[in-house]
Amino acid sequence: MEKFQRLISRAAPMPNADIDTDIIFPARFLLITEKTGLGRYAFYDWRHSADGGDAPQFVLNEPAYSGAKILVCGDNFGCGSSREQAPWALRDLGVTCLISTSFGEIFRANCFKNGMLPIVLPPAPWAELLRLANEGGELDVDLLGCTISGPDIAPIPFDVEPSRREALLEGWDEIAIALRKDAEAIAAFEDRQRANQPWLYERD
Amino acid sequence: MAQIPQTLYDKLWASHVVRDYDDGQSLLYIDRQLLHEVSSPQAFEGMRANGRAVRRPAAQLAVADHAVPTHDRDRPIADPLARKQVALLASNTAEFGLRNIALTDPAQGIVHVIGPELGFTQPGMTLVCGDSHTSTHGAFGALAFGIGSSECEMVLATQTLRQRRAKNLNVRIDGDLGPGVSAKDIILAIVGELGTAGATGFAIEYSGSTVTALSMEARLTLCNMSIEAGARTGLVAPDETTFAYLQGRPLAPKGEMWGSALAYWRSLSSDEGAAFDKVVQIDADALAPQATWGTSPDQSSAVSGATPDPGAATSYAARLRIERALDYMGLAPKTLLRDVAIDRVFIGSCTNGRIEDLRSAAAVLKGRKIASTVAGIVVPGSGAVKRQAEAEGLDAIFKEAGLEWRDAGCSLCVAMNDDRLAPGQRCASTSNRNFEGRQGQGARTHLMSPASAAASAVAGRIADVRDYL
C-alpha cells in the first residue's frame, strides 16, 4: 500500500450531506473488473451534463479545484454500497484525503486499505475548513502530527486510530502482517473453535 | 461474582476475537464468506499477485448475481463486460478451489437469498460479503456485515478481519402489524426515524413481540436494510422459528452435529439486563404502509402522507437536502404521495425477492391488471424461489396482471444488467435504495413493500395497499 504522511493541496468543497457511493461511482461502471484507471467514472453523473459534456456547476470541473487532492465533504459521505470502486476512483483522481463530520463506515474502512486518509472532525472546525476550501486556500494535512493547517487558522488537531495511522505512515500490507504476526493466534483460535463448534468445520 | 449481562452482539463479538490490539481494534475470526462477481475480482487478483492461498476454501461460497441477465438465460450473456465478469468469477473460484454456483445451477440466486436457503448462514457465525446488504444474514443471529474488496482478500488469505467493536442499539418493536403492513414498512419507518446515519457505529438488535412473531423471511427483510440507517450489522436473536427454518437445509448441521449446534444456538440472546447504548421503540400497531419520496431511504412517509415542505425544515442544511431530493424526483413540495403517477414497477431484490414477498404481491394482483401506463418485472431472489412460485401458480398471476416473470438476480435494484430505467422514469420498487441514478441514470425510485408495489402497479400511481385487500 502507498504511504500517506503529509499532504499539501487545495481542497474541493463538497458539502452536501449523504453523498453515497452510487454517486461517487455509478453502478453501471461496476462491470469493470480492474481497480485502476477508474477516476474517469468518479461522480460521473454529477460531472457530466445531459449531453455528455462537463457540467459547469460541478466543483471538480472548476479550474480552481482541478487536481485538488483533498475533499471537504458533507456528513455521512460514502454511505450506501460497500463498493471499493468509490475510493479507487477518488484515488485515481488524486484525492487521498477526505474531511467530513462523518463517513459511511464501510467506505471509511475501504479508504484506509488504499493509502487514503478519511478525517472526522466536529462541526465547528469542519465548517472552518469548508470556508477555506471555498476560498481556494491550501490545506496542509500532517498525519505525523495529526493536524490540519491552513492560511489564517490555528492548526486543527484530528484523531485517527493508532494502528490505522501507523499503517498509513508505513504503507503496511495488512494481510502480510496478519500472516506473519498473527498466524499462530489464528491457528490456535481455529483449534479451540473446532473443538467447541465442530459443525463449523464439517466440510473443510 | 455475577457475570455482567451481555448483549447478543457482545456475545457474538467475544466468541470471535482472535486477539485484541492495544488501540481498541481486534482481529476478528470470520467463519464464512460469500463472494460475488463484482467485489471479488480485485481480491482474487491480489491473492494471485502475492502468491497467496485461500486459508479455508470450504468456508467460502460464490455466486454471480449483480451483473447477470434476468432473461434469455439459456444463451450466452449478451453484454460482453458482464459475460467477462461472470466468467472471471468461475475461473477465479476454480483456480483457488472454491465452490461457485453457476448461472445454470438451480440454486443460483442473490447471495443474500441463497445463503439462508442453503443453510450456509447459521446462528452464532461471523459472515461477511463484499456487499453492504450482508446485514441481511443477521436475521439468523449471525454477526454479518458488508466489507470492501480489500477486506474480501484479507478473509480469503487469513480468515480474519481487523475490526472495532460497535456500540449496541436495541430497536424494540411491539404490537401487531395491521393488514397490508409488512417488515418492509417497519424498516422504512425505522430508517426514517433514525436517519440515514443514525445507526452509524452501532450494531442493531431488533427485538420485541412483533419481531418474535415475524417469519424468517420477514426478519431477513428487516435486517437487510439496517445499513440504510448506517449500521453494518442488524440482528435478531435465533429462536424456534430460526431453527425450524434451518433444519434439513443442505449445508445445515445434521444428526448429532445438529443437536450440538442447537444447544449452542439456544444460548444466543441478549441477557436479561444487558445494557444497550441506545434504545428505540416502535409501535407496530400504529404503523401504516410506507413509501419513500426522496433520494435517501430515510426520506419516507406513510402512503397517506405528502412530500415535505422545505420551508418548514429545521435547518438550512435540512432544507437544501429536501430541495435537492424533490428536484431530482421531479416532485413539488406538499404533493400527496397518492397523486404521484408511476411508469414502472419492480418486485424483487435481496430485500423483497423471497417467496413470501411474491405471495403478498400476487395476493394483490390476483384477478387484477396493472395500469396501461405501467410496465414492470417480477424477479425472484433465487432459482428456488422461482420454482416455488411457479409451483404455487404465482407466475401466472403476475403474467396475467401484465408483469414480466424473470430469472433470479439483483436486476433493477442495482441496474447493472439491462434491467434499467430511462432518465425521468418513475418506479415503485421493492428494493432498498432510492439513491440518485440507482435504477439508471436520472431514474426515480419510490421504495415500498411488495404488496404496496403491486397495488401501485394496478393504480398507476402510489397506492395504499389497504384499499386493495
Q: What is the pLDDT of residues B153-207, one digit of tens each?
A: 999 999 999 999 999 999 999 999 999 999 999 999 999 999 999 999 999 999 9
Q: Is the pLDDT reported for residue B1 higher than 60?
A: no
Percent of chain B at pLDDT exceeding 70: 100
Closest by alpha carbon to B261, among A202, A12, A151, A176?
Answer: A202
How many angstroms separate the Cα of A62 from the Cα of each of A12, A58, A126, A151? 10, 7, 22, 21
A84 with B437: Cβ contact below 8 A: no
Interface size A-B, in CB pairs within 8 Å, comes to 184
- Measured between CA atoms, the residue of chain A closest to residue B40 is A33
Q: How far is CA A107 from the centre of its chain?
A: 7
Q: What is the pLDDT of residues B240-263, one digit of tens each?
A: 999 999 999 999 999 999 999 999
Q: Where are the domains of chain A?
A: 6-165, 173-204
Return the SS3 of B453: helix
For chain B, say whether A184 makes contact (Cβ under 8 Å): no
What are the chain A neighbours of B25 within 8 Å (beta carbons)?
161, 163
Give the orientation angle of helix A85-93 with respect to helix A105-112, to 10 degrees.
50
> Hey, what long-range contacts does B178-182 have (CB within 8 A, 24 or more apart)?
B178/B285, B178/B287, B178/B288, B178/B466, B179/B466, B179/B469, B180/B289, B180/B451, B180/B452, B180/B464, B180/B465, B180/B466, B180/B469, B181/B284, B181/B287, B181/B288, B181/B289, B182/B218, B182/B221, B182/B360, B182/B449, B182/B450, B182/B451
Question: Which of A33, A161, A198 minimises the CB distance to B85?
Answer: A33
For chain A, say whether B323 makes contact (Cβ under 8 Å): no
Calculate how close chain A gets to B469, using CA atoms only, in Å. Answer: 34
Q: Is the pLDDT reported for residue A159 higher than 80?
A: yes
- Measured between CA atoms, the residue of chain A closest to residue B128 is A82
Query: How many other C-beta atoms can be found within 10 angstroms of the C-beta atom of residue B42?
Result: 22
pLDDT recorded at residue A52: 86
* C-alpha–C-alpha distance, residues A64 and A134, integer Å: 10
Calculate how close chain A gets to B253, using CA atoms only, in Å. Answer: 6
Q: What is the pLDDT of residues B261-293, one digit of tens each?
A: 999 999 999 999 999 999 999 999 999 999 999
pLDDT recorded at residue A1: 86
For chain A, say whether B394 makes contact (Cβ under 8 Å): no
> For A24-43, what is the mean pLDDT?
97
Q: Which of A18-22, A77-81, B20-24 has the lowest mean pLDDT?
A: B20-24
Return the SS3 of A181: helix
For chain A, say whether B421 makes contact (Cβ under 8 Å): no
Q: What strand order describes the sheet that includes B444-447?
A: B404-405, B375-378, B344-347, B426-429, B444-447
Closest by alpha carbon to B333, among B296, B293, B279?
Answer: B293
> For B414-436, what is the mean pLDDT?
96
Q: Is the pLDDT reported for residue A50 higher than 90?
A: no
Options 3.30.499.10, 3.30.450.20, 3.10.450.50, 3.40.50.360; CATH for B8-166+239-265 is: 3.30.499.10
Which CATH number is associated with domain B290-468? 3.30.499.10
For chain A, say whether B119 makes contact (Cβ under 8 Å): no
Full-prediction pTM beyond 0.90?
Answer: yes
Calculate how close chain A gets to B55, using CA atoms only, in Å. Answer: 10
Every domain range in chain B assigned CATH 3.30.499.10: 8-166+239-265, 290-468
A18 with B321: Cβ contact below 8 A: yes
The terminus-to-terminus CA distance of chain B in angstroms comes to 56
Eight-class DSSP state of B214:
S
B29 with A186: Cβ contact below 8 A: yes
Q: Is the ipTM of this complex over 0.95?
A: yes
- Class at the top of the CATH hierarchy for domain A6-165: alpha beta
Query: What architecture does CATH give domain B169-233+270-286?
Result: 3-Layer(aba) Sandwich (3.40)
pLDDT recorded at residue B98: 98
* C-alpha–C-alpha distance, residues B186 and B208, integer Å: 13
For chain B, say whether A177 makes contact (Cβ under 8 Å): no
For chain B, say whether A195 makes contact (Cβ under 8 Å): no
pLDDT recorded at residue A10: 97
Calculate how close chain A gets to B133, using CA atoms only, in Å. Answer: 8
A30 with B196: Cβ contact below 8 A: no
Every domain range in chain B assigned CATH 3.40.1060.10: 169-233+270-286
Q: What is the pLDDT of residues B438-460, one digit of tens each?
A: 999 999 999 999 999 999 999 99
pLDDT recorded at residue A81: 97
For chain A, say whether B39 makes contact (Cβ under 8 Å): yes
A residues 100..139 contacting B (CB < 8 A): 102, 104-106, 109-110, 113-114
* C-alpha–C-alpha distance, residues B387 and A144, integer Å: 59
Q: What is the pLDDT of residues B365-406, one digit of tens each?
A: 999 999 999 999 999 999 999 999 999 999 999 999 999 999
Return the SS3 of B163: strand
pLDDT recorded at residue B2: 63
